[in-house]
C-alpha cells in the first residue's frame, strides 16, 4: 500500500489569492501530490459560485503546472444551520426529521430542483479542468444533530408505498431502533438509500455529458456505513461511473484534539481507519 498527501484549500476565503504563494510553498514543503480547491455550494448565490469558477480557471492550471493533481471539494446535502435568504430563495426541499421539523440547511436529495442545481454545478466545476470532484461528508441522511432524516413528503410517499400503510412517525421511531426486523425499518432504509443513490447516479450521468474522465466521489461518514440504507462502497462505485472509485474515509486526528465523538482518542480514530480499510479491501477503490 502506498500513501500520498492530499490537501484541501478554501478558495472561498477572500484572502486566498494573497496567500497563494505561501500555500504553494507549504504544499511543496510537505510533499503534497493532490490539492483540493474548496468551493461554494450548489445553492449559493450565483455571484459567489461564479467567483469560484473564475478562480478555478485561473489556479487549476497553475497548480497542475507545479506538478499537483488538482480537484475541487464542495458541500453537498448541507451541514445544517440556518438557511440564508439566498439559500431559501433557491426553493429546495429541506430535510424533515421524525418530529416533522424542517431542519435548517439540510437539503433533501429527492428534490428535483435541488438535483438540477447540483448536476449543473458539478458540470461547471468539471469544465474548469479539475481531475476529481469530491463532496464533503454531508452526503448523508442521518447523523445530523442526533436526528434521523428524512420525512419529507417525497420520502414518506416511498415509505407508504412499500409498507402499504399510512406513515406514522411515532411508530417509526420505535421500529427503527428497537425490536427485530420489521417492514417499517426496511422501508425507511430503502427510502433513504434510494435518495442518496438516485442523486449520485444523476450527478454521474450529468458529469459524463461533459467530462467522463473526471472522477466524482463523496467522503464517507458514520451513517453511510450503517443507517442510511446504502453503504459507502456502493456510493463510491455509483459516483465513479467508468472511472476508478475514490473514497475518503471518515475519521480525523482532530477528533482526538477536540475530544468529541464520545471522547474519542487518537487510538480510536486509528481503529476507525483500520476497520474501513478492511471493508474496502479488494474493492478496487482508492
Nine-digit cell at 222? 458514520
Cα–Cα distance for residue pair 80/191, rounded to 1 Å: 21
Span 223-282, pLDDT tens digits: 999 899 999 999 999 999 999 999 999 988 888 877 666 666 888 889 989 999 999 999
The helix (run of H) or strand (run of E) holding residue 7 is: strand 6-10
To which H or E segment does residue 186 belong?
helix 183-208
pLDDT of residue 171: 95
Predicted local distance difference test score (pLDDT) of residue 215: 98
CB burial readout 48-66, b (16+ within 10 A) else e:
ebebbbebbeebbeebeee
H/E element holding 102? Answer: strand 102-107
State residue 262's pLDDT score. 61
pTM for this one? 0.94
pLDDT digits over 17-57, tens only?
999 999 999 999 999 999 999 999 999 989 999 999 999 99
pLDDT > 70 in the chain, percent: 93
- Cα 246–Cα 76–Cα 255 angle in degrees, nearest 5: 70
Q: Are strands 69-74 and 34-38 parallel, antiparallel or unpaired?
A: parallel
The pLDDT of residue 139: 96
Amino acid at each position: 500500500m502506498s500513501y500520498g498527501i492530499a490537501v484541501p484549500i478554501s478558495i472561498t476565503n477572500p484572502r486566498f489569492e494573497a496567500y497563494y504563494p505561501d500555500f504553494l510553498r507549504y504544499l511543496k514543503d510537505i510533499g503534497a501530490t493532490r490539492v483540493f480547491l474548496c468551493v461554494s455550494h450548489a445553492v449559493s448565490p450565483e455571484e459567489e459560485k461564479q467567483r469560484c469558477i473564475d478562480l478555478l480557471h485561473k489556479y487549476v492550471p497553475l497548480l497542475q503546472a507545479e506538478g499537483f493533481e488538482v480537484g475541487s471539494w464542495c458541500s453537498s446535502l448541507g451541514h445544517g444551520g440556518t438557511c440564508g435568504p439566498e439559500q431559501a430563495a433557491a426553493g429546495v426541499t429541506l430535510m424533515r426529521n421524525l418530529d416533522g421539523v424542517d431542519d435548517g440547511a439540510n437539503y433533501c436529495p429527492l428534490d428535483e430542483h435541488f438535483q438540477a442545481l447540483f448536476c449543473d454545478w458539478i458540470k461547471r466545476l468539471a469544465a474548469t479542468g479539475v481531475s476529481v470532484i469530491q463532496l464533503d461528508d454531508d452526503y448523508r441522511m442521518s447523523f445530523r444533530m442526533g436526528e434521523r432524516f428524512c420525512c419529507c413528503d417525497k420520502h414518506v410517499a416511498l415509505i407508504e408505498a412499500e409498507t402499504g400503510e399510512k406513515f406514522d412517525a411515532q411508530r417509526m421511531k420505535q421500529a427503527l431502533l428497537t425490536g427485530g426486523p420489521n417492514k417499517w425499518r426496511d422501508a425507511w432504509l430503502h427510502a433513504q438509500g434510494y435518495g442518496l443513490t438516485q442523486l449520485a447516479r444523476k450527478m454521474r450521468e450529468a458529469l459524463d455529458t461533459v467530462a467522463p474522465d473526471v472522477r466524482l466521489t463523496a467522503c464517507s461518514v458514520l451513517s453511510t456505513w450503517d443507517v442510511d440504507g446504502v453503504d459507502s462502497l456502493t456510493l463510491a462505485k455509483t459516483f465513479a461511473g467508468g472511472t476508478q472509485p475514490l473514497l475518503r474515509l471518515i475519521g480525523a486526528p482532530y477528533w482526538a484534539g477536540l475530544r468529541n465523538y464520545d471522547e474519542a482518542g487518537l487510538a480510536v480514530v486509528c481503529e476507525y481507519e483500520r476497520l474501513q480499510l478492511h471493508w474496502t479491501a479488494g474493492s478496487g477503490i482508492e
